[in-house]
Every structure is written in C-alpha cells, then in structure tokens.
Amino acid sequence: MKNSGVVVVAGAGGFIGGHLVQRLLARGTQRVRAVDVKPAKEWWQRHPDAENLLLDLRERRACEKACRDASEVYQLAADMGGMGFIESNKAACMLSVLINTHMLQAATGAGVKRFFYSSSACVYNADKQRDPNVTALKEVDAYPAMPEDGYGWEKLFSERMCRHFREDFGLKTRVARFHNVYGPRGSWTGGREKAPAAICRKVIEAKISRKLEIEIWGDGTQTRSFQYIDDCIKGIGLIMRSGWVEPINLGSSELVSVDDLVTAAEEIGGVKLKRRYMLSAPKGVAGRNSDNTLIRKVFGWEPSTPLRTGLEHTYRWIFDEYVRTHGRR
C-alpha cells in the first residue's frame, strides 16, 4: 500500500472508511487524506497521522480539493444506511451520484492513477431475489437491470460511469459490489445501522432492561450473507492493486436468515427472547447471497470470517458502547 502520492479515502468518517484509513496507515502509507462531510466528533474513527478534511463532496470544488496531488482514490462516500433508511430516503441516496461524478472528474483532472469505487449488491436484479432460498448472485446477474429502487439505481449508474471514465480517459477504475459489511466502530443506533448491528443492539437492550422480547422487521425468513469488516478491507486492497477491471462481488457466501442472525446474537448475549415480527416494516428482498466463484478465480481468496466469529466481536463492542452511553439500568 506504500505510495509516493496522496492516498485519498472519501467517506473516511464512516464505518468502512475509518477502518480503511487505519489499515492504510498501519501498512506504512505515508500520506493519507481522510475526507468526510460529517463534523469531526461524528467520525467513527479519526486518525491524527492522516490529513483529515471536512468537505462536502457533492460539490465539484470540494472534490478537486480532495484529489489534489493524489495518486489513488478510494471513493466510499455516500448518503446511505440500513434498509429502513434506504427505503425512506430514495432521493437522498440518488443524489450520491453528484459525489461519484465529481470525484471521477476531479480524479481524472488530477492525474490520479487508480480509483476504487464501492458499489453494492443492491445493484442486482430484484427478480432473482424473491425467494429466501436464493441462488447466489453472480456478477452477470446485474443485467437486465432491475436494482433496488433509489440506492441500487444510483450504484449501478455510477458503476457505468467508472467504466466509461476508464475507457474514455484512461482512469484505472476498480469496482467492488459490497454485500452487507458489519463489525465494530460503525452505526449501531439512530436509523442508519445495518441488520447485524441493529440486532445486537436490540438483544443488548432486552437483556439490560430485562424486557425479554425483540422486534424483528419482516417474518424472519429473509436471507442474507454478512461480511466481516476485516475481510472487506483485505478485499478492497486486493481489488485495488489488481488488473481486474469489471465489477466484482466482495461478500461472504455464508447464507443465513434473519432468525438465524437473531439466534446467534442471543447465544452470544446468553439470553433467549420472545420474537415479535413486524410484517409492515422495511425488509428488502427475500433473499440475497454472494456467488464468490469469480473472486476465488481471480484472487484465490474470498471473505471467510464465520458470522458467529465476527458477530461476537461486533456484539462486544456495541455492548460497551451501549453501557457507556446509556449505563446499566
């Protein structure tokens, strides 16, 4: 990861971005520029060895400032959250196209050598995700296009932008389709958290309050694969340094149901809860899993941290955060 130019992480105040900055610095990258729109106190990780900038990357000039003297850009910045946020804020999610467009233009203008874009499994055709017993999604399953409304369409469009900037301007773009990344040091309350963090928090709340019940969005049969943050960061590095130019899945292939996820969190917390299913709540597609045939072929590697292992690390961190902010009731 060592590089003579500035390495930019856009969205560095977020969950994945914070971990990526930490990893870059740990591996000896000398000049890391961490950029986010959030106030400094709201960053999940803030590293004093990085150049930390508060910029609104929806604005072209802000992107030009972010990319100045840069040799590599990791474009993770987006307005997004869990399914509840995505389904209720489609316009806001679509407006992330301003960030991606301006960052691609600024990177090209600055002579950036490599540009990583974090896409999403939400680009996949919804017709292939109507059964909890889903066939794992291959990269070709993004077309014919029928992605998640709002967020998924923006991600798919920005993938195409990366392709055309590579073809027309020679910018070496790399695209990974993230599948449900989770782990410590990320959103666990407030509406933007993903399912693993939300379930951990609910189990912790139930245990501490002694109200031994949990609210579950949907009927519990929805299936997903959940990728631990350490695997995600390793995959980003492999993809960025490689010669592979097409979008590629970056996710675990361990398929579990929401009920399975709740059971795992209960076992970690040492508690058994009554389950209340909220059938009218946002729940997304019925099933989604990552087909890792391509990433194994290209890199001889795939995300492999078992859900139970990663979830235990996540639960312990959220428990400590919950106690720190709420106390033990």
| β strands within the chain, DSSP E | 6-10, 32-36, 51-54, 70-75, 114-120, 172-178, 181-182, 213-217, 223-225, 227-228, 248-250, 255-257, 274-278
Q: 């106190």: which residue's tokens?
A: 41
| CATH number of the domain that residue 112 is part of | 3.40.50.720
Separation of CA 134 from chain center: 21
Residues 280 and 311 in one domain: yes
Q: List beta partners, residue 54.
A: 36
Rg of the Cα atoms in the chain? 19
| 77 burial via Cβ count (<10 Å: 0-12, 13-18, 19+) | buried
User: Which tokens belong to 149?
Assistant: 């409304």
User: Which tokens belong to 53?
Assistant: 């900038």
Helices (H) and strands (E) in the chain, counts: 11, 13
pLDDT score at 82: 81
pLDDT score at 81: 83
pLDDT score at 283: 85
Residues 263 and 170 in one domain: no
Tell me the C-alpha distance between 184 and 261, whole Å: 16
Among 108, 107, 117, 105, CA closest to 236: 117
**Residue 300 covered by a domain:** no
Residue type, 66: A
pLDDT score at 2: 46
pLDDT score at 10: 98
Residues 203 and 145 in one domain: no
**Residue 25 covered by a domain:** yes
| CATH number of the domain that residue 309 is part of | 3.90.25.10
Residues 97 and 219 in one domain: no
Residues 170 and 263 in one domain: no
Residues 74 and 128 in one domain: yes
**Residue 128 covered by a domain:** yes
Tell me the C-alpha distance between 290 and 24, whole Å: 26
- In the set 74, 117, 151, 315, the catalytic residue is 151
Residues 234 and 260 in one domain: no
Q: List beta partners, residue 255.
A: 225
pLDDT score at 219: 96
Q: 């299913």: which residue's tokens?
A: 277
Going edge to edge, which strands form the sheet with 51-54? 51-54, 32-36, 6-10, 70-75, 114-120, 172-178, 248-250
Q: Are 55 and 62 in contact (CB under 8 A)?
A: yes
Residues 164 and 283 in one domain: no
pLDDT score at 290: 98
pLDDT score at 83: 81
Residues 129 and 191 in one domain: no
Q: Are 268 and 110 in contact (CB under 8 A)?
A: no
**Residue 157 covered by a domain:** yes
**Residue 294 covered by a domain:** no
Range of the domain at 321: 184-225+254-289+305-326
pLDDT score at 328: 66
**Residue 263 covered by a domain:** yes
- What is the residue-level pLDDT of the chain in tens, covering all 329 positions? 444 699 999 999 999 999 999 999 999 999 999 999 999 999 999 999 999 999 999 999 999 999 999 999 999 999 988 888 888 899 999 999 999 999 999 999 999 999 999 999 999 999 999 999 999 999 999 999 999 999 999 999 999 999 999 999 999 999 999 999 999 999 999 989 999 999 999 999 999 999 999 999 999 999 999 999 999 999 999 999 999 999 999 999 999 999 999 999 999 999 999 999 999 998 889 999 999 999 999 999 999 999 999 999 999 999 999 999 987 65
**Residue 295 covered by a domain:** no
Q: How many CB atoms lie within 10 A of CB 215?
A: 13
Residues 74 and 117 in one domain: yes
Residue type, 55: L
261: helix, coil or strand? helix
Active site residue 151: yes
Residues 188 and 177 in one domain: no
141: helix, coil or strand? helix
DSSP 6: E
Q: Are 194 and 148 in contact (CB under 8 A)?
A: no
